[in-house]
Each structure stands twice: as C-alpha cells, then as structure tokens.
C-alpha cells in the first residue's frame, strides 16, 4: 500500500512552507503569494494526486472524456496540412475510445478547465511551459523533446527509423525529406541521427532532383507529393501504435499514476 501524500510532501516538492501550501489550497487572499508559486503548488498537487478534501477529490477524479490538442500555425501550408491530417486521424482514434478532441491554436493560450488533458503537437519548449504554467490539467508533449520527468513526452524512435532505412537501402546513402520542425530539441535529435536531411517546403518544386536518390519520408503529406519517386521508403510518423502509447499516457496522467519512464519512444 502506497504512503498517503501529505501537505508536507507538497511543500517539500514546491520548495515552500506548509503554511504557504495551506494558504493556496484555501484560497487565502490576505496572503501575498505570487501566481508562479500558486501554479507550481497546484501542479504538484495534481502530479502527486493529493486530495485535501472531498470537493477537491471530486474535481480531480471527474473525467470529461475530452482532450485538447494544441498546435501552432505554420508558414508552410504543407506543414499545416500534416497537422490537420494528424488531428483528423487522432480524432477518429479517440472517438473509438469514447473521447472527444478539442482543437486549440496559438490564439488560445489560456486556462482550460473543460478538458481532462492537454496535448501539444511539435511546439517549442517556451510555449509548452507557458501553457503548463497556467493549466492544472495534465500536459503531454507529442513530437517534442521537453526532457522534464514531470511530463510525458511521446516521440517517434528515430534510431529505429534510421536502422530500418539502412536495411532497406542496403547501407547505401539516403536522404530524409521532412517538414519544418518547430521543436528545436527534436530537430537536433533528427540531425544527430540522419546524415542527410532536406527540409521540404512549398519552395521544393524540382522533385526530379530526388529521382535518382534514395529517399526516406516520414510525413504523409510529403508521401503524397512524392508518389512518383521510385527509390522511396515511407515510414509514417503517424501510426496506430503511437496513438495507443499517447492514449495510455493520457490515461496515466489523468489518473496521476506514478510511472517511472515519462520519455516514450515508439
């Protein structure tokens, strides 16, 4: 049986006094406590599944069967198309699990009380924490490397992709065609994994340049646009197993389960 979380545990994790935690829980307006400190305390309360009273327990355990997906508009229409392709496919998947999906963009960075969890899709870390600092709902990073053990992050295993491509192309050189990537940490991971990368945009008109090359594609939109390339391997970044891992992380996060590994590679 696990030890019951106490107010002292919350205070220790937040780096504040027990009295400060008590003031925040009880909404004491006569105490000068910064919003940053309040947010940190509430996030730790959620993370450790601390329920100070029956009303708070009800708020924490009540499921709305709704998940929000946040992604930023890109200057690349192809990138936007890929994001909406993901939203469409993931919405179908969630529907099969009796969940609804709520779409958010950069004009909607605010507190979301009407969802069980918020998923971010390929966003920069600064924006991720900006969303996290104003929300108490679980926050999950998809196609982003946040590298913070507090948050689940689900990413494609690019080393696996690289090994598969090497085998397919018989260890001959190949080029990864990929869309613009907003999360710098993910871009760095990809650059460190693949020797030859080409960022595909609307300006990539002369596809004949790639006709004689070995090409690896991971994005559905690029796959459709390069259908005539003969020496191409398509290993989709959006697939059923990834949805399954993402959904499992959502369930774990909502239930505040203590999971050792929050860094999930698929």
**∠ CA 2-146-262, rounded to 5°:** 30
How far is Cα 211 from Cα 215, in angstroms, rounded to an integer?
A: 9
Cα angle at 68 between 64 and 69, to 5 degrees? 155
pLDDT in the model for residue 29 = 66
pLDDT value of position 48: 79
Q: 188-193 — which CB contacts under 8 Å span 24+ positions?
A: 189/145, 189/155, 189/158, 190/158, 193/158, 193/159, 193/161, 193/162
Whole-number pLDDT of residue 205: 64
Residue indicated by tokens 């192809």: 78
Identify the segments of the chain with pLDDT beneath 50.
Answer: 1, 54-59
User: What pLDDT, on the 0 to 100 scale, is given for residue 61?
Assistant: 52
Structure tokens belonging to residue 232? 């191409």
pLDDT of residue 54: 45
């Amino acid at each position: 049986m696990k030890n019951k979380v106490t107010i002292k545990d919350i205070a220790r994790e937040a780096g504040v006094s027990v009295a400060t935690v008590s003031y925040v829980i009880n909404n004491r307006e006569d105490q000068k406590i910064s919003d940053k400190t309040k947010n940190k305390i509430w996030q730790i309360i959620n993370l450790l599944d601390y329920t100070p009273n029956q009303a708070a327990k009800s708020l924490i355990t009540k499921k709305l069967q709704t998940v929000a997906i946040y992604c930023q508009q890109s200057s690349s229409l192809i990138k936007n198309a890929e994001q909406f392709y993901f939203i469409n496919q993931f919405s179908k998947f969630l529907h099969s699990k009796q969940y609804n999906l709520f779409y958010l963009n950069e004009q909607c960075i605010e507190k979301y009380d009407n969802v069980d969890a918020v998923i971010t899709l390929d966003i920069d870390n600064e924006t991720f924490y900006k969303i996290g600092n104003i929300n108490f709902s679980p926050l999950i990073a998809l196609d982003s490397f946040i590298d913070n053990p507090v948050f689940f992050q689900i990413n494609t295993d690019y080393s696996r992709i690289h090994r598969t491509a090497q085998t397919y192309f018989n260890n001959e050189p190949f080029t990864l065609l990929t869309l613009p990537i907003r999360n710098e940490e993910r871009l760095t991971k990809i650059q460190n994994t693949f020797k030859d990368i080409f960022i595909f945009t609307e300006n990539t008109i002369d596809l004949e340049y790639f006709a004689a090359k070995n090409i690896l594609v991971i994005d559905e939109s690029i796959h459709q646009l390069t259908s005539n390339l003969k020496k191409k391997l398509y290993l989709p970044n959006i697939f059923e197993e990834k949805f399954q891992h993402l959904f499992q992380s959502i369930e774990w996060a909502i239930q505040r389960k203590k999971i050792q590994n929050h860094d999930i590679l698929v």
